[in-house]
Structure 1
């Protein structure tokens, strides 16, 4: 549902790969137990507070969004439980106070991996059509209180997005 003053733009979701997602973060796929720590492991920044690892239950909001958020103090890791596929839109981190809507990309994320967002990566999602999906989330204990900058794309740029 789009506001009468906003333009609804379609974003084609591409299947996530490490190379395509690199400007925004990392994709972490399973590795063998006992493998040494290396560059394919999540490169975390959680040193500005108490890490919080929890399971969040989200209700499905479909594939449209008009707001995008970032966290400037920490990385964030997200992954679905029970193998659920999901979608996320992202824009690269920058020093600007808002993302450039032209840089927003969408990814289809399978349930056999998780994503680690770089510090400052703008993101909308997880998005999905199921009634409810559980996600694990690793961030700081106060991320949603003191490190949650949101840009309303509808009011700022008169645009909304739908991931297709």
Structure 2
């Protein structure tokens, strides 16, 4: 049985997320591009420049709540993956900063609460688990490298770990003896299973 590492929830904001990535939304703090075709009715900014060494897919993740436990974490070497909510539903993302080691620094892992008004884009190498829905039928747009999909499909059937040119997905619980859990406040409780 893995020892539990309990992470408190941190509200997602530009400063808190900076070691891991960038907020995608009005709260990003990105300056507006000085282009005015619509007399101020349309304002455009670039909160995060997307980087990818291969073709990119825009996918839709339709999510339902699942236990707030992180057994696997992954990182990407060739792209800056992004998650953008649709419908304004809250979700949780667990991340650890990029590092040189073979495993994430679990002492630096954080759990972020996104209220559904903004998404995020991770720095290359940021360790993460796929976001957790807090409500049924939570939709996220996921922008990712097509190489990641190929790397995930080639997972090891015994360990369910996956490795490839863009992906390093590891069973953190098996490798460290620690299972990460998110401390969800009662006012955010997930529906009963």
Cα distance between partner residues in 2 of 1:103 and 1:76: 20
Instruction: Assess, with a 3 A threshold, how the Cα gap between structure 1 residues 114 and 10 changes in structure 2: closer, same or farther.
Output: same
- Aligned pairs, how many? 157
Within a 5 Å distance, the mapping from 1:59-78 to structure 2 comes to 59-78=64-83
The answer on whether the counterparts of 2:91 and 2:133 sit within 8 Å (CA) in structure 1 is yes
Unmatched segments (≥5 aa) in structure 2: 27-31, 33-39, 152-165, 184-193
Question: Which among 95, 112, 121 is matched to residue 116 of structure 1?
Answer: 121
Question: What is the distance in 2 between the residues matched to 1:52 and 1:128?
Answer: 21
Q: Higher strand share goes to which structure?
A: 1
| 1:134 aligned residue | 139
Query: Helix, strand or coil for the counterpart of 1:97?
Result: coil
Paired with 2:79 and 2:99, the residues of 1 have a C-alpha distance of 14
Q: Give the Cα separation in 1 of the matches to 2:65 and 2:44.
A: 37
| Alpha-carbon shift at residue 33 of structure 1 (Å) | 5.9
What 5-or-longer segments of structure 1 have no aligned partner?
A: none
Q: Alpha-carbon deviations, 1:125-144, whole Å to 9, x = none? A: 31134333221011112213
Superposition RMSD in Å: 1.8
Q: Which has the larger radius of gyration?
A: 2
User: 2:6 and 2:48 mapped to 1: Cα distance?
Assistant: 30
Correspondence for 2:29: none
Structure 1: how far apart are the matches of 2:6 and 2:149?
28
State whether residues 90 and 134 of structure 2, in contact with CA within 8 Å, keep that contact through their aligned partners in structure 1. Answer: no
Matched with 1:35 is 43
> How far apart are 1:99 and its partner, in Å?
0.7
Residue 37 of structure 1, CA deviation:
4.2
CA contact (8 A) 2:92 2:134 kept: no
Q: State yes or no: 1:161 paired with 2:180.
A: yes
Task: State yes or no: 1:92 paired with 2:100.
Answer: no
Instruction: Determine which structure has greater relative contact order: mean sequence separation of CA pairs < 8 Å that are 6+ residues apart, divided by chain length.
Output: 1
